[in-house]
Amino acid sequence: MAKIIPFKAVRAPKHKANLVPSRSYEDYDFRDLEAQLAYNPFSFLQIINPGYKFHKNVSGAERFQLVKNRYLEFKEDKTLIQDEQPCLYLYKIKTRNNSFCGIIAGTSSQDYKDDLIKKHEDTLEKREQLFTQYLKTVGFNAEPVLLTYPDNDQIATTLEKIMQLPAEYEFTTTDRVSHFLWVVNEENLISSIQSYFQDLGSVYIADGHHRSSSSNLLTDQLARENPEHTGKEPYNFFMSYLIPESDLKIYEFNRLVKDLNGLDKESFLMKLDKWFRIENRGAELYKPSKKHHFGMYLDGDFYSLYLRKSIYEFTDALSSLDTQILHKIVLEPILGITDLRNDKRIEYGYGKHNVIKMKNLIDEGEFSVGFSLIPVTIEEMKAIADAGLTMPPKSTYIEPKLRSGLTIYEF
């Protein structure tokens, strides 16, 4: 019984819709960020990078307060305006190869607690606490959590009907991605959409585990501080973008390791031989195409590694996940990497050309060995979430990647 609610979004007026939203802050390299800050005074980056105004790097509580100040200035200048009534928002993203369409809505922290919003990744407590402090100071959330739900004909038909109407926003960004936003403010239509989602049962976090867990922590904090807490306050919900499973695109992360943990090439291959049937593919660019098959690049050669299933023990959904297999029988026991998040000897890469990039980095001596995998499937992701298990870090690279500041949710 997944609950969604309409909310009064804070967003740009139509004539500035292409100027305010930005990609996630981490997506920008230094030159890109500087250009955006120098030449677009309306970019949401101005809010989340408030030190730029003072030519100073700021962090922690000082930065959080300045973010709030910049946000209030954007509202005072009417660069951001709050809708007068609670709405749902239909948001369509169209790239060169894919199209994504879903609903931006408030989702329930109680559903998160009750595991109706299911998780498949671990979160870092330090990062959770920091982001909770940020949310409490600034009083808004500007980037939705990406949730996915089983394909549903009633929802799909309803969204198609809405898209027959003119969009409130329609613009294309410099990365050649087109964005469309429809404002859904008719009460009967909102009620229908809510009832369809209530009939779904569970929904799944695709991207945004730290955002959702921090929002849940904020709910608990503000509830304790509010003697008249009812459970209906805005802080009991967090902004999400809900799309059907068929729209979700999941890509793999490859693994690159800086050294062989003191082993020479032959000794390393002999240790791998216990677990894999190994074939040297030479200069042939090899990418795995089946579950439990892995690609490896080492010392100028590509290898295929086929798991010896007769000796590997499959016990649950997690144990059959390729990223978990690689961690448990190669990265940890052979290469000595126990902390996949923080060990500086391992890095991750994604993208369709990443095997070539992996080869180049190893040929240049920056890394010693690289492993390529096939993408995790939505069925694997759901099975792990349903079992209450968590994937190793960097198991999935998921699209769509959402923009900050398109719609803003205030607590």
Give me the pLDDT at residue 126, please. Answer: 86
CB-CB contact of 407 with 11 (8 Å): yes
User: What pLDDT was estimated at residue 407?
Assistant: 98
- pLDDT at residue 351, as a whole number: 65
- Output the CA–CA distances (angstroms, integers) from residue 40 to 17, 19, 25, 51, in the order listed: 13, 7, 15, 16
CA distance 28 to 15: 24
Residue 136 · residue 221 · CB < 8 Å: yes
**Beta strands at 99-108 and 81-82: parallel, antiparallel or unpaired:** unpaired
pTM equals 0.92
The pLDDT value given to residue 93:
97
User: Quick one: which of 317, 405, 377 has its CA closest to 70?
Assistant: 405
Q: How far apart are CA 333 and CA 302, in angstroms?
A: 22
Name the pairing type of β-strands 81-82 and 169-172: unpaired
d(CA 87, CA 186): 8
- Distances in Å between the alpha carbon of 269 and those of 57, 304, 353? 47, 12, 26
Q: How many residues does the chain have?
A: 411
Q: Within the chain, which residues score under 50 in pLDDT? A: none
- Residue from 321, 289, 319 nearest 306 by CA: 289
Residue 62: CB atoms within 10 A of its CB come to 12
Query: Measured between alpha carbons, how far is 103 from 123 in angstroms, rounded to an integer?
Result: 25
Q: Which DSSP helix (H) or strand (E) runs through 22?
A: none
206: which 2 tokens? Answer: 């695709």
Give pLDDT, residue 350.
81
